[in-house]
Amino acid sequence: MRKVGSLEDVQKAETFRWYLISQDIETKINEIGEHSTEIWVFRDEDWKKARDFFEQFKNAVDISTFQKAAEGVQKTQPVEAKKAEAPLVRSQNLHSTGTFALIAFSVLFFILHFVDKQHWLMRQLMISSDLFANSMGIKSFREIFSGQVWRLFTPIFIHTDFFHILFNMIWLYQFGRLVEESIGTLKFTLLILFIAACSNLAFYLVSGPRFGGMSGVVYGLFAFMWACDRYSIVSPYRLDPNLAKFFGGFYVVCWVLSAVGFPVANTVHGVGAFCGLIAGVLVSGYLKRARKSHFDKIFIYNLLIVLALLAGGIVADIFTK
- Domain residue spans in the chain? 2-84, 109-320
Average per-residue pLDDT for the chain: 86
- Indicate the pLDDT class of residue 293, thresholds 50, 70 and 90: low
Phi and psi at residue 244, to the nearest 5°: -65, -40
Q: What is the pLDDT of residue 236?
A: 76
Q: What is the pLDDT of residue 24?
A: 83
Q: What is the mean pLDDT of residues 168-178?
A: 95
Q: Is 280 exposed, middle or buried (0-12, 13-18, 19+ CB in 10 A)?
A: buried
For the chain, the distance separating the N- and C-terminal CA atoms, rounded to the nearest angstrom, is 39
Select the highest-mean-pLDDT range: 37-41, 59-63, 98-102. Answer: 98-102
Q: What is the pLDDT of residue 93?
A: 43
Q: What is the pLDDT of residue 90?
A: 41
| Whether the Cβ atoms of residue 195 and residue 216 lie closer than 8 Å to each other | yes
Q: What is the pLDDT of residue 88?
A: 37
- Indicate the pLDDT class of residue 61, thresholds 50, 70 and 90: confident
Q: What is the pLDDT of residue 84?
A: 43
Select the highest-mean-pLDDT range: 22-31, 39-48, 113-122. Answer: 113-122
Domain 2-84 matching CATH 3.60.21.10: the answer reads no
For the chain, count helices (H), then strands (E): 15, 3
> What's the pLDDT tens digit per position in 77-115?
644 444 444 433 344 445 789 999 999 999 999 999 989
Q: What is the pLDDT of residue 73?
A: 78
Select the highest-mean-pLDDT range: 22-26, 182-186, 215-219, 238-242. Answer: 215-219
CA distance 196 to 211: 13
CA distance 156 to 122: 11
pTM of the model: 0.77
CA distance 4 to 1: 10
Q: What is the pLDDT of residue 221?
A: 97
For residue 40, the SS3 value is strand
CA distance 137 to 170: 36
Helix 185-206 × helix 162-183 angle, to 10°: 140
CATH topology of domain 109-320: Rhomboid-like fold (1.20.1540)
Per CATH, 2-84 and 109-320 having the same topology is answered: no
CA distance 201 to 147: 16
Q: What is the pLDDT of residue 11?
A: 85
Q: What is the pLDDT of residue 86?
A: 40
Phi and psi at residue 153, to the nearest 5°: -110, -35
Question: C-alpha distances in angstroms, 141 versus 5, 129, 248?
Answer: 53, 10, 32
Question: C-alpha distances in angstroms, 69 versus 18, 46, 86, 280?
Answer: 8, 18, 21, 31
